[in-house]
Amino acid sequence: MQLRRAMLGIAAAAIASGSALAQQKVTLGHLMDLSGATSDVGTPFSQGVNDSFAWLNGKGGVAGRQFNMLAVDYGYQAPRAVSQYQAWARDRVVGIMGWGTADTEALVKFVTRDKIPYVSGSYAATLTDAAGKSGRPGAEATGYNFFYGPSYSDALRAMLKWAADDWKAKGKPGRPKYVHMGGNHPYPNSPKEAGEAMARELGFDVLPPIVFALTPGDYTAQCLTLKSQGANYAYLGNTAGSNISVLRACQTAGLDVQFLGNVWGMDENAMKAAGAAANGVVFPVRTAVVWGQAAPGMANVEAISKVSDPAGRAYRPVHYLAGVCASMLMAEAVETAIGKGGELTGERVRDGFYARQNWVPKGFEGVCNASNFTPEDHRGTLRVALYRAVVGGDTSNGTVQELMANGTMKLQPVATIELERKRELLGW
């Protein structure tokens, strides 16, 4: 009888200990698109997120507490995201690594009400009006929404500034013609009005927008419209998968257009898939370096990569690195909140995003660009680095790693544009 009581006591102690350990973990949600319309870029980004938190756990977590990551593939379906959020709210997550624009915007009221910091893969400018005081129609406070990198609108403004200079540098006559292209969806539409307003301000003729779906298809008709309009600069608002179809169709149609890709609109995988059709596309890159370049913090990024690629042979595209930097912002905000003492809450994690200026996560110097957030303004950066996709040969043979290594494909720095932090552009 005494032995049985002793065994029960040991079991109870083990259960209590396990429960205590579970309570010590920092529970975060992670919304991924691995199977939906944006999975082409959602997959590498989410891999960067998952690898980052697994790497942190392997090092003991932050402030002695590990992360419990609740990762779910929602297939880029906003209703599923809302349903999943409700489950996570019951699980008392203290933060969420999110994804798409439609679902992120749909959840703004929820995360604000429940005080849950939300680091999205959406860079919609509507998410930057933290205090909801911009005065823009329909503006609401987004004090719990954050993202790493420039907003879609600011990235497009920077590309248009570059395009205006490019037109002048080429000595071409008349006014350049600009057109917005993309799906009729909150994500590609997010910077549309801001971009068109900037284009007019810079002296462009703004053409009627051209719609094409978020999924790959035959977009010959769109390219013929582009050709008949005489467009000189065209913004591709979709992710790389459907943009590849447009680039190929427009190459076949013999167009001479400078394409401007949004931040999710081009990467190394898309360059390989599109081949010569991707040559010349200009697009924003969020990190200070790309895979294979030297930087003080690259050793940690390579260590993170080995979580899912122990052999260290995988080439990581620009979205993977951005996923790492976004994760480290969340991790350090959590670390700051823990360091303040008391109960770990979403509100305290939120305040962790305001604790630093010119914030580069520790150990990722030279990789992650600096971020600055205030309770009124969640435009983390107004510095936009533009790169050109350079494809100089056949991409059908060889891996992305091999094609980048032998110079068949390159990411060529074009310009870095510093935008002014104008109050009137907040949230737009």
Averaged pLDDT, 205-231: 97
Domains of the chain: 2-149+297-352 (3.40.50.2300), 152-287+382-425 (3.40.50.2300)
Burial grade of 276 (CB within 10 A; 0-12, 13-18, 19 or more): middle
pLDDT of 267 strictly over 80: yes
- Roughly what angle, to the nearest 10 degrees, separates helices 298-305 and 39-58? 100
Model confidence band, residue 137 (pLDDT cutoffs 50, 70, 90): confident
| pLDDT for residue 396 is more than 80 | yes
Report which of 250, 287, 104 is spatially closest to residue 190, judged by C-alpha positions: 104
| Cα 85 off chain centre by | 20
Beta strands in 125-236 (DSSP E): 145-146, 177-182, 205-206, 210-211, 233-236
Distance CA 203, CA 384 (A): 21
Whether the predicted pLDDT of 113 surpasses 80: yes
pLDDT at 213 over 80: yes
DSSP line for 367-393: TSPPB---SS------EEEEEEEEE-S
The pLDDT value recorded for residue 362 is 98
**Residue 136's pLDDT band (boundaries 50, 70, 90)?**
confident
Residue 4 banded pLDDT, cuts 50, 70, 90: very low
Residue type, 170: K
Q: Strands (DSSP E) along 19-140, which ranges?
A: 26-32, 67-73, 95-97, 118-119
Pairing of strands 95-97, 26-32: parallel
Task: Give per-residue burial for 130-162: e unless 16+ CB within 10 Å, then b.
Answer: bbbebebeebebbbbbbbbbbbbbbbbbbbbbb
User: Count of CB atoms within 10 A of residue 21's CB?
Assistant: 11
What is the average pLDDT across 414-418? 98
Residue 28 phi/psi, 5-degree rounding, is -125, 145
pLDDT in tens, 27-53: 999 999 999 999 999 999 999 999 999
pTM for the whole structure: 0.94
pLDDT at 11 over 50: no
Helices (H), 175-239: 186-189, 192-201, 220-229
Cβ–Cβ < 8 Å for 220, 253: yes
Kindly tell me if the per-residue pLDDT of 370 is higher than 50. Answer: yes
φ/ψ of residue 332, rounded to 5? -75, -30
**Structure-token match 């419990």, residue found:** 68
Task: Give the pairing of strands 95-97 and 118-119.
Answer: parallel
Name the DSSP letter for residue 316: P
pLDDT at 116 > cutoff 70: yes
- CA dihedral sign of residues 108, 183, 426, 383: positive
Mean pLDDT for 112-127 is 98
pLDDT on residue 386: 98
Q: Crossing angle for the helix pair 318-339 and 39-58, nearest 10 degrees? A: 40
Task: Round to the nearest angstrom and report the end-to-end CA distance of the chain.
Answer: 72
pLDDT at 23 over 70: no
CA dist list (Å): 36 to 33, 97, 99, 189 = 6, 17, 12, 18
Helical packing angle, 192-201 and 152-169, nearest 10°: 30
3 state SS of 284? strand
Question: CA-CA distance, 129 to 124, in Å (whole number)?
Answer: 10
Q: Is the pLDDT at 10 greater than 70, yes or no?
A: no
| Token code pair at residue 329 | 């912002």
Average pLDDT over residues 234-248: 97
| Average pLDDT of the chain, as a whole number | 94
Return the structure tokens found at 171: 């000595």
The confidence score (pLDDT) of residue 135 equals: 83
Residue 282 pairs with which residues in a beta bridge?
Answer: 260, 388
pLDDT for the residue numbered 5? 36
- Kindly report, residue by residue over 66-93, the tens digit of the pLDDT: 999 999 999 999 999 999 999 999 989 9
